[in-house]
Amino acid sequence: MFVIMGATGRLGRFVIEGLLKKVPANQIAVAVRNPDKATEWAARGVQVRQADYSRPEECDGVFSLGDTVLLISSGEVGQPLAATLQQA
């Protein structure tokens, strides 16, 4: 299972489209801040989970879904990824 965090941005969409060419949709999960923005992935059979770097408690269990996890930074000023993940 692949888990992609940051799946609704440009890079995330590119990565998922590439994965969908190589693996079945049910082998991909996306972690997004707003699941309403990931309805296209859900419609294609990708698992959608809510998770936000700024709320580490939402990340509990999301990353354990996968063998491979890709964390795409949110690009939000003042929210360093390393500090957020240490809290998770």
Note the pTM of the prediction, 2 decimals: 0.76
Q: Which two tokens stand for residue 86?
A: 């240490």
CATH number of the domain within which 8 lies: 3.40.50.720
Q: How many domains does the chain have?
A: 1
Give the strand pairing for 47-50 and 28-32.
Answer: parallel
Query: What pLDDT, in 10s, does the model give residues 53-75?
Result: 777 676 667 777 778 887 777 66
DSSP-derived secondary structure letter, 1: -
Residue 30 β-bridge partners: 4, 48
Full residue range of the structural domain in which residue 72 is found: 2-87
pLDDT in tens, 10-68: 888 999 999 999 999 999 999 888 899 999 999 999 999 888 777 767 666 777 777 88
Q: Which of 57, 43, 61, 48 is nearest to 12 (CA)?
A: 48
Q: What is the CA radius of gyration of the chain?
A: 12
